């Protein structure tokens, strides 16, 4: 303002109009900011669900795995996640489940074979007239038959797990 009354009037009018606009627009801005905040929360919730829902499904599928037959459980992944990191994790878990299933089958087979051999060894030890002593590492007595116990003059429980050299 340079001292002219008309300029003063124009300046005051502009100032009053600006004051009125700010006074009237203030609540509108607050409402708009509130709606924007709500919109941001809704978008964040949507994005969070898109990220966490597949992980929740994965965790649920992992809980359903039958420990006796892990290979029969296959974790499925939605098509839109098949190539991303989640799809890679699921693919790796499915491969691990198949390997675990094969290992368990091998272990069951090995236990079955071992039980058959143990049964055969017991049959041989129990039906041979000669004294037989089965020694392990460091000459530790693992098994012996009744004839060996008679020859040594002791019970099997006394001899088992003892060192044969110290008898």
Q: What is the pLDDT of residues 62-96, one digit of tens each?
A: 777 777 776 677 777 666 666 778 778 888 888 88
Q: What percent of the chain has pLDDT over 90?
A: 26
**Nearest residue to 101 (alpha-carbon basis) of 134, 66, 70, 145:** 70
The arithmetic mean of pLDDT across residues 129-157, rounded, is 90
Whether 43 has a pLDDT exceeding 90, the answer reads yes
| C-alpha to C-alpha distance for 97 and 72, rounded to whole angstroms | 8
3: left (phi over 0), alpha (psi -120 to 50) or beta: left
Four-point Cα dihedral 58, 61, 65, 71, nearest 10: -70
Percentage helix, strand, coil, to 5, in the chain? 75, 5, 20
Distance CA 13, CA 113 (A): 103
- Whether the CB-CB separation of 72 and 78 falls below 8 Å is answered with no
d(CA 8, CA 1): 6
Averaged pLDDT for residues 42-47? 94
Q: What is the pLDDT of residue 23?
A: 79
- Is the pLDDT reported for residue 2 higher than 70? no
**How far is it, in rounded angstroms, from Cα 110 to Cα 47?**
50
CA-based radius of gyration for the chain: 42
Q: How high is the mean pLDDT of the chain?
A: 84
What torsion, rounded to 10 degrees, do the Cα atoms 63, 64, 66, 67 define? 0
Rounded Cα distance, 143 and 20, in Å: 104
Residue of 72, 97, 75 lying closest to 86 (CA atoms): 75
């Amino acid at each position: 303002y340079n001292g002219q009354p008309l300029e003063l009037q124009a300046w005051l009018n502009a100032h009053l109009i600006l004051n009125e606009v700010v006074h009237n627009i203030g609540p509108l801005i607050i409402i708009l900011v509130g709606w924007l905040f709500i919109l941001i929360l809704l978008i964040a919730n949507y994005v969070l669900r898109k990220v966490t829902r597949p992980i929740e499904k994965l965790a649920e599928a992992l809980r359903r795995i039958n420990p006796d037959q892990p290979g029969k459980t296959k974790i499925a992944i939605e098509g839109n996640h098949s190539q991303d990191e989640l799809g890679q994790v699921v693919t790796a878990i499915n491969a691990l489940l198949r390997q675990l299933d094969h290992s368990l089958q091998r272990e069951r087979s090995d236990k079955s074979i071992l039980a058959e051999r143990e049964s055969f060894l017991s049959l041989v030890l129990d039906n041979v007239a000669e004294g037989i002593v089965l020694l392990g590492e460091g000459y530790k007595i693992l098994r012996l038959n009744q004839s060996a116990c008679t020859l040594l003059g002791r019970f099997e429980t006394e001899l088992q797990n003892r060192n044969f050299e110290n008898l």
